[in-house]
Amino acid sequence: MKPLAERDGYRRFKLAVFALLVVNTIVYTVQGTPGEALDSIAWYTLLLLFELETAHAQRLSTRRAVTAVHAVRLAAAAAILVAAAGYLYERAWLDAMNAWLWIVLVVLLEIEVRYVQPVTRHRVRFVAATTVVYSGLAMVALAWAWRGEWFDAYDALLWLAAFATIEMNLLRARAPSARATSGGT
């Protein structure tokens, strides 16, 4: 049986989530505040870069491609920080909490992608930290639903699903090395 990340249904699910996020990004760009538009575009850019690095790393075979990805990531990260600071300035506390939890999650993902051996050595702690952040993000989505802010709740759930696919990419990438370490069992 194929691993989940290689199944056609999973690929269609991922494509659907990414497509729905494009629609949401358009909605935030057209109907939201400039800060929401910046936030949404920057996060979607970052999501695509994570997808590229975790599921299609072979396409980053040249130094030039890697440098371009890093430059775009830096610009997206700067935009995300500006938007997150804007939420604090506007006293939009739920948006701010959501933004900063996502920033923490991205830092954890960056560590997971770049420092595989230390993460493997401290797997339990790393999984616990990631679980706390994902739980916080789920609570923010529930808070939006409770407040009747359905589009924000729906968008938050889509983002959770999208980043779960990135986690699946990381698990898939680690699986061959884990099998090799355990002697192929």
Q: List pLDDT tens digits, range 129-176.
A: 999 999 999 999 999 999 999 999 999 999 999 999 988 887 877 765
Which pLDDT does position 134 carry in this prediction?
A: 96
Mean pLDDT of 118-131: 93
Q: Provide Rg for the chain, Cα atoms.
A: 17
Q: Does the structure show a pLDDT above 50 at 95?
A: yes
Beta carbons of 79 and 117 less than 8 angstroms apart: no
Q: Does the structure show a pLDDT above 90 at 178?
A: no
Reported confidence tier of residue 25, pLDDT bands at 50, 70, 90: very high
Give the separation between CA 125 and CA 148, rounded to whole angstroms.
35
Q: Does the structure show a pLDDT above 60 at 185?
A: no
Sign, CA torsion 60/63/64/70: positive
Beta carbons of 109 and 50 less than 8 angstroms apart: yes
The residue extents of the domains of the chain are 4-181
Give the separation between CA 77 and CA 32, rounded to whole angstroms.
20
Average pLDDT, the chain: 89
Sign, CA torsion 106/116/54/74: positive
Q: Which residue has the higher pLDDT, 22 or 173?
A: 22
Q: Which residue has the higher pLDDT, 56 or 107?
A: 107
Mean pLDDT of 122-127: 93
141 alpha-carbon distance from chain centroid: 15
Give the separation between CA 162 and CA 14, rounded to whole angstroms.
7
Question: Residue for token digits 């968008």?
Answer: 155
Give the separation between CA 108 and CA 119, rounded to whole angstroms.
10
Sequential DSSP letters for 30-55: HHS-HHHHHHHHHHHHHHHHHHHHHH
Q: Does the structure show a pLDDT above 50 at 182?
A: no
Which pLDDT does position 38 carry in this prediction?
A: 93
pLDDT in tens, 51-94: 888 888 777 788 998 899 999 999 999 999 999 999 999 999 99
> DSSP assignment, residue 147?
T
